[in-house]
Chains A and B, each alone.
Chain A
Amino acid sequence: MAWLRKCQMSPLDRVVVFLCVIIWSAFGPHDARAQSFVNPAQIHISYDVPTDPKFRPMYDALKRRNVLERLQGFLSPLRLPKELSVRLAQCGAETSPYPPGGPVTICYEMVQRISDITFQNTTDPNDRVLVIDGTFVQMVLHEVALAVFDVLQVPIWGRAEDAADRVSALIMMQFGDELAVTTIIGTAKFFEYSKHEWTGGDFASQGSPEAQRFYNYLCIAYGGDPIAFRFLAPRPGPSAFATLPEHRAARCAGEYHQVRHAFDMRIMPFVDPDAVTKVRASQWLLSDEYPGRSK
Chain B
Amino acid sequence: MAAFGRISWTLEMNRILSALSAAVLTSFMLAGASPAAAQAWLSIPANPKVDIAYVPPASQRLEGVYQALKGRQILEELQHFLAPLHLPHRLLLQTRECSQVNAFYSPFDRSLTICYELVGELIRDAPQTVSEDGFITHEAAIVGTLVGVVLHEGGHMMFDMLDVPVFGREEDAADETASFLALQFNKDVERTIIKGFVYFWAKSQDPSASSPMRVWSDEHGTPSQRMYNTLCLAYGGDPQGFKEFVDRGWLPPKRAEHCGAEFAQLKLAFIKTILPFIDRDLMVQVQKTQWLTPEELK
B33 in the interface (beta carbon within 8 A):
no
Residues of B within 8 A of A160 (CB): 168, 262, 265
Contacts A205-B255, A206-B255, A262-B165 given; indicate if A157 touches B213 (C-beta within 8 A): no
With both chains docked as a complex, state the minimum distance between the C-beta of A239 and any C-beta of chain B, in angstroms: 12
B248 in the interface (beta carbon within 8 A):
no
* B contacts with A, residue count (CB < 8 A): 44
Residues of B within 8 A of A192 (CB): 213
With both chains docked as a complex, state the minimum distance between the C-beta of B98 and any C-beta of chain A, in angstroms: 17
State which of B82-90, B131-139, B216-224, B281-289 sits at the interface with chain A: B216-224
A162 in the interface (beta carbon within 8 A):
yes
Residue ID in chain B nearest A154 by CB atoms: B167
8 A Cβ contacts from A125-175 to B: 149, 153-160, 162-163, 166-167
A238 in the interface (beta carbon within 8 A):
no
Contacts A198-B209, A203-B222, A248-B218 given; indicate if A158 touches B268 (C-beta within 8 A): no
A209 in the interface (beta carbon within 8 A):
yes
CA distance A206 to B219 in the complex (A): 17
Contacts A157-B173, A159-B168 given; indicate if A242 touches B159 (C-beta within 8 A): no
State which of A22-30, A73-81, A116-124, A210-218 sits at the interface with chain B: A210-218
Interface of B toward A, CB cutoff 8 Å: 159, 164-170, 172-173, 176-177, 206, 208-209, 213-214, 216-219, 221-222, 224-225, 227-229, 232, 251-252, 254-255, 258, 261-262, 265-266, 268-273
CB of A155 within 8 A of CB of B216, answer no
CA distance A157 to B265 in the complex (A): 8
CA distance A154 to B255 in the complex (A): 22
CB of B159 within 8 A of CB of A157, answer yes
Contacts A159-B229, A160-B168, A206-B255 given; indicate if A248 touches B219 (C-beta within 8 A): yes
A53 in the interface (beta carbon within 8 A):
no
With both chains docked as a complex, state the minimum distance between the C-beta of B202 and any C-beta of chain A, in angstroms: 12
Q: List 14 A-B contacts (CB under 8 A).
A: A100-B261, A154-B167, A157-B176, A158-B167, A158-B172, A158-B173, A160-B265, A162-B169, A192-B213, A203-B227, A204-B224, A209-B216, A259-B167, A266-B167
A277 in the interface (beta carbon within 8 A):
no
Beyond the given A163-B167, A211-B213, please list 14 additional residue pairs across the A-B interface where CB-CB is below 8 A: A156-B168, A157-B165, A157-B173, A157-B266, A158-B168, A159-B172, A162-B172, A198-B206, A199-B206, A199-B208, A204-B255, A247-B217, A248-B219, A261-B165
Against B, the Cβ 8 Å flags (1 = close, 0 = not) of A89-124 are: 000000000001000000000000000000000000
CB of A251 within 8 A of CB of B169, answer no
Residue ID in chain A nearest B223 by CB atoms: A203
Residues of A within 8 A of B258 (CB): 206
With both chains docked as a complex, state the minimum distance between the C-beta of B242 and any C-beta of chain A, in angstroms: 15
With both chains docked as a complex, state the minimum distance between the C-beta of B95 and any C-beta of chain A, in angstroms: 25
Residues of B within 8 A of A247 (CB): 217-218
CB-contact partner of B273 in A155, A158, A212, A215, under 8 A: A155
With both chains docked as a complex, state the minimum distance between the C-beta of A294 and any C-beta of chain B, in angstroms: 32
CB-contact partner of B216 in A212, A258, A263, under 8 A: A212
CB-contact partner of B209 in A199, A208, A215, A255, under 8 A: A199
Residue ID in chain A nearest B1 by CB atoms: A251
Residue ID in chain B nearest A97 by CB atoms: B258
Residues of A within 8 A of B254 (CB): 204
Residue ID in chain B nearest A192 by CB atoms: B213
CA distance A153 to B264 in the complex (A): 11
CB-contact partner of B213 in A198, A214, A251, under 8 A: A214
With both chains docked as a complex, state the minimum distance between the C-beta of B171 and any C-beta of chain A, in angstroms: 8
With both chains docked as a complex, state the minimum distance between the C-beta of A40 and any C-beta of chain B, in angstroms: 28
- The 9 A-B pairs with the shortest beta carbon distances in the complex, nearest first, are A158-B168, A262-B165, A211-B216, A203-B224, A157-B173, A163-B167, A155-B269, A197-B209, A163-B168
